[in-house]
């Protein structure tokens, strides 16, 4: 009898522990991932071509050189992890009706630009190649010129969609021209320091916003 009572007492003491062990812990809620944003880039354009008649886009010359301070400077918003620099790259062409009528309208362009940090670290390259035979080969015309229809003679030709990864912690990058191989009615042209190599438009930044800094409680 005493043995039965002892076993019942042991069972009653062990039961609460067994029940608590069977309880499932509530799952830890992970913080929701911050969605990606795509914003127009804040950029400093050393030489602007103007605004496109068809798209309303702003076109900026990318100049040949090695000093990041002389390039197209793009400010990257505060971001968590890597960001993406997105833009369209074009060749530049000087349109001439006279050359077309004279049979000298053909032109061919190859341009390469670099994306550098402000410490001259190469983050990526982009290239565009295009040919011109007739007005339909132009990407679009630029407003504000003295030509027929109020457009400029210089116009973008060709279009390449470019995406370059920007590491975390990089706050600014610079676009600089590296290679130009152009054959036109005026002859052969290569990249010369300070001269336009290509055009960029629709410059955007895709990024995940960095969390706000934590404030210490007093």
Spans of all domains in the chain? 35-207
Predicted confidence band of residue 215 (pLDDT cuts 50, 70, 90): low
**Residues 49-103: pLDDT tens digits?**
999 999 999 999 999 999 999 999 999 999 999 999 999 999 999 999 999 988 8
CATH number, domain 35-207, options 2.40.50, 1.10.760, 2.60.120, 1.10.260: 2.60.120
Helix, strand, coil % (nearest 5) of the chain? Answer: 15, 50, 35
Per-residue model confidence (pLDDT) at position 41: 97
**Residues 156-196: pLDDT tens digits?**
999 999 999 999 999 999 999 999 999 998 899 999 999 99
Q: Rounded to two decimals, what is the model's pTM?
A: 0.82
**Residues 11-64: pLDDT tens digits?**
454 455 544 444 566 665 565 667 899 999 999 999 999 999 999 999 999 999
């Amino acid at each position: 009898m005493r043995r039965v009572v002892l076993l019942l007492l042991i069972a009653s003491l062990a039961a609460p522990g067994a029940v608590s062990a069977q309880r499932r812990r509530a799952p830890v809620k992970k913080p929701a991932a911050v969605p990606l944003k795509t914003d127009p880039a804040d950029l400093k354009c050393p030489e602007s071509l103007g605004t496109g008649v068809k798209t309303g886009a702003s076109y900026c010359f990318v100049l040949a050189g090695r000093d990041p301070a002389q390039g197209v400077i793009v400010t990257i918003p505060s971001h968590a992890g890597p960001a993406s620099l997105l833009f369209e790259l074009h060749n530049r062409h000087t349109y001439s009706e006279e050359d077309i009528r004279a049979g000298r309208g053909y032109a061919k362009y190859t341009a390469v630009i670099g994306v550098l940090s402000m410490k001259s670290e190469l983050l990526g390259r982009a290239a565009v190649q295009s040919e011109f035979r007739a007005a339909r080969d132009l990407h679009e015309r630029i407003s504000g010129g003295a030509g027929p229809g109020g457009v400029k003679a210089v116009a973008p030709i060709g279009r390449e969609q470019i995406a370059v990864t920007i590491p975390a912690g990089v706050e600014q990058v610079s676009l600089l021209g590296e290679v130009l191989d152009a054959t036109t009615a005026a002859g052969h042209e290569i990249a010369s320091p300070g001269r336009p190599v290509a055009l960029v438009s629709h410059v955007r930044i895709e990024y995940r916003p960095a969390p706000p800094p934590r404030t210490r409680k007093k």
